[in-house]
Structure 1
Amino acid sequence: MIHPKIIKKQRITLIILVIVLIASIGFAMTTGEFNMSPIQYLKTLFGFGNTLDTMILFDFRMPRMLITILAGASLALSGAILQSITKNPLAEPGILGINAGSGFMITLFIVIGTVKAGDFVYVLPLISMLGGMLTAAVIFLFSYKKGEGINPVRMVLIGVGISTALSGLSITVMSTFDQDQMEFISKWLAGNIWGDEWPFVFACLPWLLIVMPFLFYKANVLNMLSTNEQVSVSFGIRSNKERIILVSLAVLLSSAAVSVAGGIGFVGLMGPHIARSIVGPRHQLYLPIAVLIGAIMLVLADTIGKIVLYPNGLPAGIIVAIVGAPYFLYLMQKSNHI
């Protein structure tokens, strides 16, 4: 039984976050190389804008905004699932090296296939997922110890090591690239929102629409799995099977997101922690909040990046890392892991 005050607090928080997200979207859509007043933006959004405003809003800015929202929400949800399943408060796709695995696989795909990534937009999520899944499997294999299970500290250290190794291999492979290929993968590794056309939205959206609702549906199972092992068994939950399914879906979710948004870290770390600090550890309460926080964080990071180094911009991944790295160290200290 969830206390009515907590439910009320969650609903108020959701309303506030939706308002903040809408405001962030409006600010992002009206700034940039072509400034648009709020009145112009609203008129164009509802179909009353001129030809130029309509083209800029719907052909250029809207697909990038949707990718940014979807990627931020997906990374936050993926981080929340990984933290719950592994019982590791520091688990997150970027920190564990899953994003680096996706990036390395995409790099191999480009160099072996000698193709431009944009020509295979619908294949990229699959390639990214393959890299993410293989990397996650290696991390969990080396983090597991018979009789002890998965050690949280070992998992983070192995993830950081694998991430560094794969990033180094990606840079080595990049030496064989031509200028266009080099520019693409460099932006990807830096966390640049590069999938800013409608085909990228259509390539990513189906995965997110299928996986995200299922993970919300599994909220009660996640509640059980994040407690004592005996508790989940007493409720008839097949723990190992559920963990494998949920971790696989979390990795698929993050891989699909980063395949079109770049190697962005720390969103999956901060979003769930902030959400839990507001409404507590019940997944049905904090997962929706974490999703909204992740979306807001990435929208603001992308917008700030465009403003800071106008007109070329600064990748959203770097903006998030500036905030996320100190937050990671704070959590490490708080968890007595250093």
Structure 2
Amino acid sequence: MIQSALIKKQRFFFFTLLGLILATAIISIGAGYSSMGYDRIAAALIGQGTFKENFVLFSIRMPRILITVLAGMALALSGAILQSITRNDLADPGIIGINSGAGAAIALFFLFVPVDAGSFVYLLPLVAFGGALLTAILIYLFSYQRETGLQPIRLILTGIGFSMALSGVMIVLISSAEREKVDFIANWLAGNIWGTDWPFILALLPWLLVLIPFVLYKANRLNMLGLSEPVAVGLGVSVEKERITMLLAAVALAASAVSVTGGIAFIGLMAPHIAKALVGPRHQLFLPLAILTGGWLLLLADTIGRNLLEPSGIPAGVMAALIGAPYFIYLLMKK
């Protein structure tokens, strides 16, 4: 049973994070190359803005903000799952190669599969999931040993190797591609959020509506998977079955996110750690906070990067790496 004081603490941080997301979203709406007065945001929201204000708000800023928050949530939850099932605090979909697998599949699809623009948006998450799933299976097979089971450190190192190899594959693929296609893949590699239109939200949202409740429902199983394997088995958990199920959920969350945001790492690493520091390691408590933290971190990274160098800005993936890479090194030294 969870103590009432912890539940109150979780609620406090939950609403605090919601407030941070809202405040950052308002700043993001008003700031940028096409600036918009903060005193005009409310008027535009209720349909009383000028044509320019309505265009900036509903066609440029709102879709980008929503896609960024949703993708950050998905990456954070994916990272939390990976850290639990591998019992390794360094696990992250970007670090261990899942994002690179999704990116390689997207690059192949974009370069060689003719498809109309209307279907392209909705097929991307499926293509990314296929590539990420194949990569995750290979990483799992290379990391698993019959005598000792899944070795967390071996998984991290194997994943880093796959990530580097797949990044090399993507560079080879674009070396002979057309200029506009090269630009798209280069932006994807940098984590430059490109799916900034309403259809991309519709393509991403169903994945989150299904997977977030499913993972929250499995929170107690994740608590058990975080224990040593003999203890989990003693509690009646089918360890391999649950681990594979949750790995599929983590892969789907990461793939759906990076299919519209590009290769963004470290959000899935940092958000679970921040949430655990706030309310402790029980998944029922920290998973909702990790989801909100991930959404806020990616929105913050995109807002800062977009306004540092106008008009093109710095990709959100680069900004996230500037924050996350030192934190990753700190965790490596600590562990």
- Runs of 5+ unmatched residues, structure 2: none
Q: CA deviation at 1:301?
A: 0.6
Give deviations 1:252-274, integer Å, cap 9, x for gaps.
01000000011000000000011
Give deviations 1:117-143, integer Å, cap 9, x for gaps.
786111111110011001111111111
Does the Cα contact within 8 Å between 1:110 and 1:117 map onto a contact in 2? no
Q: Does 1:249 align with 2:249?
A: yes
Q: Where does residue 204 of structure 2 map in the other structure? A: 204
**Partner AA of 2:309 in structure 1:** L
Q: CA deviation at 1:197?
A: 0.8
**Partner AA of 1:287 in structure 2:** L
Q: Where does residue 8 of structure 1 map in the other structure? A: 8
Does the Cα contact within 8 Å between 1:110 and 1:116 map onto a contact in 2? no
Q: Where does residue 332 of structure 1 map in the other structure? A: 332
Q: Equivalents in 1 of 2:54, 2:200: separation in Å?
A: 20
Q: Where does residue 189 of structure 1 map in the other structure? A: 189
Task: Name the SS of the counterpart of 2:19 in structure 1.
Answer: helix
Q: Where does residue 98 of structure 1 map in the other structure? A: 98
Q: Equivalents in 2 of 1:242, 1:305: separation in Å?
A: 39
Task: Name the SS of the counterpart of 1:121 in structure 2.
Answer: helix
Q: Does 1:158 align with 2:165?
A: no
Q: CA deviation at 1:115?
A: 5.7
Give deviations 1:211-257, integer Å, cap 9, x for gaps.
11111111111111111334333443222211111110110010000
Q: CA deviation at 1:73?
A: 0.5
Q: CA deviation at 1:50?
A: 2.4
Percentage identity across paired residues of the two chains: 51
Q: Equivalents in 2 of 1:311, 1:186: separation in Å?
A: 18
Q: Equivalents in 1 of 2:271, 2:176: separation in Å?
A: 37
Q: Where does residue 87 of structure 1 map in the other structure? A: 87
Q: CA deviation at 1:55?
A: 1.8
Task: Name the SS of the counterpart of 1:123 in structure 2.
Answer: helix
Q: Does 1:295 align with 2:298?
A: no
Q: Where does residue 22 of structure 2 map in the other structure? A: 22
Q: CA deviation at 1:37?
A: 1.6
Q: Where does residue 224 of structure 2 map in the other structure? A: 224
Q: Equivalents in 2 of 1:195, 1:201: separation in Å?
A: 8
Q: How does 1:26-41 map to 2 (within 5 A)?
A: 26-41=26-41
Task: Name the SS of the counterpart of 1:52 in structure 2.
Answer: helix
Q: Equivalents in 2 of 1:188, 1:117: separation in Å?
A: 18
Q: Equivalents in 2 of 1:151, 1:291: separation in Å?
A: 27
Does the Cα contact within 8 Å between 2:33 and 2:307 map onto a contact in 1? no
Q: Where does residue 135 of structure 2 map in the other structure? A: 135
Q: Where does residue 237 of structure 2 map in the other structure? A: 237
Q: Equivalents in 2 of 1:282, 1:243: separation in Å?
A: 17
Q: Equivalents in 2 of 1:332, 1:118: separation in Å?
A: 44
Q: Equivalents in 2 of 1:31, 1:119: separation in Å?
A: 32
Q: Where does residue 47 of structure 2 map in the other structure? A: 47
Q: CA deviation at 1:172?
A: 0.6
Kindly tell me the number of residue pairs found equivalent between the two proteins: 335
Q: Equivalents in 1 of 2:302, 2:32: separation in Å?
A: 11
**Partner AA of 1:231 in structure 2:** V
Q: Where does residue 65 of structure 1 map in the other structure? A: 65
Give deviations 1:40-70, integer Å, cap 9, x for gaps.
1122123332222112211221111111000
Q: Equivalents in 1 of 2:281, 2:265: separation in Å?
A: 22
Q: Equivalents in 2 of 1:223, 1:117: separation in Å?
A: 43
Q: Equivalents in 2 of 1:247, 1:240: separation in Å?
A: 10
Give deviations 1:57-111, integer Å, cap 9, x for gaps.
1122111111100000000000000100111111110000110111111111122
Q: Equivalents in 1 of 2:299, 2:51: separation in Å?
A: 26
- Runs of 5+ unmatched residues, structure 1: none
Could you list the structure 1 runs, at least 4 aligned residues long, displaced by more than 3 angstroms after superposition: 114-119
Does the Cα contact within 8 Å between 2:73 and 2:294 map onto a contact in 1? yes
Q: Equivalents in 2 of 1:14, 1:61: separation in Å?
A: 24
Task: Name the SS of the counterpart of 2:48 in structure 1.
Answer: coil
